[in-house]
């Protein structure tokens, strides 16, 4: 295994519920180093661009609406096997199927409002990191 970077978003539902600190603590406890972190709010255009891969899916419009309803926290994270490791800490996309002790099992309301996003592959992580962070941000 090698050290790699991944990207994550604490979504508007978790930020509004005051769960961001606990979610970040779980991520750090799992061995992730935080390289970059900031609170921001997506415009509709930004959300459409970020989730463009899902443009043809029936849930796209609802996802864009959800992701623009309030502040989010974007994170650049690093550790060995980061992409796979973060997905394990997050749990299944549908919290009903998530393992005990995962972020989504603990905090997510349902499959649509599932409190956290994480990159699904190293290539995706690189694109998502570049969407929110400059190279200088992550030195």
Token pair for 66: 């959800």
Token pair for 126: 């690189």
List, in sequence order, every residue forming a beta bridge with 78; answer none if it has no partner. Answer: 5, 33
* 131 Cβ contact partners less than 8 Å away, ≥ 6 residues apart: 49, 50
Phi and psi torsions of 9, nearest 5°: -125, 130
- The yes-or-no answer on residue 54 being catalytic is no
Annotated active-site residue in 117, 118, 129, 132:
117
Do 20 and 14 form a contact (C-beta atoms < 8 A)?
Answer: yes
* Integer angstrom CA distances of residue 137 from 41, 47, 88: 18, 21, 26
Phi and psi torsions of 6, nearest 5°: -140, 170
Write out the catalytic residue numbers: 117
């Amino acid at each position: 295994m090698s050290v790699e970077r991944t990207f994550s978003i604490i979504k508007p539902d978790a930020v509004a519920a005051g769960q961001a600190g606990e979610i970040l603590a779980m991520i750090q406890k799992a061995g992730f180093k935080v390289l970059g972190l900031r609170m921001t709010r997506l415009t509709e255009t930004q959300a459409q661009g970020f989730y463009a891969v899902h443009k043809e899916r029936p849930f796209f419009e609802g996802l864009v609406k959800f992701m623009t309803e309030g502040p989010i926290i974007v994170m650049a994270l690093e550790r060995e096997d980061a992409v796979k490791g973060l997905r394990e800490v997050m749990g299944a996309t549908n919290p009903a199927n998530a393992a005990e002790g995962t972020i989504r099992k603990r905090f997510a309301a349902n499959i649509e409002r599932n409190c956290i996003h994480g990159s699904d592959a190293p290539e995706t992580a690189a694109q998502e990191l570049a969407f929110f962070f400059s190279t200088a941000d992550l030195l």
